[in-house]
Amino acid sequence: MTTQTTRSSALPVPRRNLGTAAAKTLRRPQFWFGLMVLLPILAWYAWFSFGPLLRAFWMATVKYDLMNPTESPFVGLKNFQQVFSYPLFWISVQRTVTFSVFVYLGTLPLAVFVSMCLVSVARGRDFYQFVIFLPVVVSYVAIALLFRMLMDPQTGQFNQILTALGLPRSLWITGPNSALPAIALIDVWKGLGFHVVIITAGLLGIPEEMYDAAKVDGAGSWHRFRYVTIPLLGNTLLLESVIMVAGTLQAFTNGEVMGCAGDSCFWISRLVYTEAFTNMRFGFATASAFVLFIFILSLTVVQIRALKPDWQY
């Protein structure tokens, strides 16, 4: 009996012919039905998503003539060379990265802390989430009007609070050195609710058995947070990190609406807008946008490689 089993396991397993499998798949009506359903969607994406992307890449390689686009001379990578040799580009990179770091370091720890507090609330959690999420849906124009009044150097309530506490007054968004941190502070306040909702959902998805086992082993509050919560929240924190970095590096509306002093909020997106619609250098602006796209894509890949957990629960 043992000999027969050994011989049968040693027999070569016949490989499935790919051509036969493909022919069998093409004969199935489910394949053609799925293809007919997906074909309009694929055509939509090809025309409205990938089409403009390819056209933008073409614009980045020509000296685009707005009046006669078909006669735009081909310049190859000259636009990209001009981008990297343009002094204002490196200023915009510095401002963009600084703003992204401010918002990242201000939002992620605070969102985790608020989410931990919400998870511990037994009643009224939905109401608190609604209150925290409310600034996310408020128009940035209304927020700009509000914070311009609060941050007014002469009559603003923020400076009155600083004076009452015996602290020096600030120029806030009207100062060349304080405008960028002030805009980052506003952005943290406005976007906090969005990140709190995501992190709270991740915390509620952690099984209670994990915490019970840690308590049995004698782990305190800090050790449960360090060795249970943070590792099991890894995928959620990765998602948050990618969303936050990609969003802050594309910042435009907040600085444009608030009106920063000087070039303190001269971000890459603002450089693209200025070069395209003020200086009419569409090829240069498109090349700058592609550089930003590659930068965001590279940072996204790095974050996924560095922060992605090696296990699931």
Domains of the chain: 85-307 (1.10.3720.10)
What confidence tier does 238 reach under pLDDT thresholds 50, 70, 90? very high
50 has pLDDT over 60: yes
Show Cβ contacts of residue 156 under 8 Å, excluding neighbours closer than 6 positions: 149, 150, 172
Residue 308, Cβ density class (10 Å: 0-12 exposed, 13-18 middle, ≥19 buried): exposed
Is 73 a residue whose pLDDT tops 70?
A: yes
Asked if 135 contacts 142 with a C-beta cutoff of 8 angstroms, the reply is: no
Between CA 208 and CA 86 the distance in angstroms is: 55
For range 230-246, the mean pLDDT: 93
CA dihedral for 80, 84, 86, 89, sign (positive or negative): positive
Do 140 and 257 contact (CB within 8 A), yes or no? yes
pTM of the full structure: 0.82
Q: How far apart are CA 204 and CA 265, in angstroms?
A: 38
pLDDT > 70 in the chain, percent: 93
| pLDDT the model gives residue 1 | 42
Identify the band that residue 9 occupies on the pLDDT scale cut at 50, 70 and 90. very low
Which residues lie below 8 Å from residue 302, measured CB to CB, with a gap of 6+? none
Confidence label for 105 from pLDDT (cuts 50, 70 and 90): very high
pLDDT for 2:
43
DSSP the chain: -HHHHHHHHHSPPPPPPHHHHHHHHHT-HHHHHHHHHHHHHHHHHIIIIIHHHHHHHHHHTB---SS-GGGPPB-TTHHHHHHHH-HHHHHHHHHHHHHHHHHHHHHHHHHHHHHHHHHT-SSSHHHHHHHHHHHHHS-HHHHHHHHHHHT-TTT-HHHHHHHHTTPPP--GGGSTTTHHHHHHHHHHHHHHHHHHHHHHHHHHTS-HHHHHHHHHTT--HHHHIIIIIHHHTHHHHHHHHHHHHHHHHT--HHHHHHT-STTTT--HHHHHHHHHHTS--HHHHHHHHHHHHHHHHHHHHHHHHHH--S---
pLDDT value, residue 17: 62
Question: What is d(CA 223, CA 299) in angstroms, rounded to the nearest whole number?
Answer: 31
d(CA 296, CA 291): 9
- Does pLDDT of 312 surpass 70? no
Give me the mean pLDDT over the 20-41 stretch. 82
- The mean-pLDDT minimum among 30-34, 125-129, 136-140 falls in 30-34
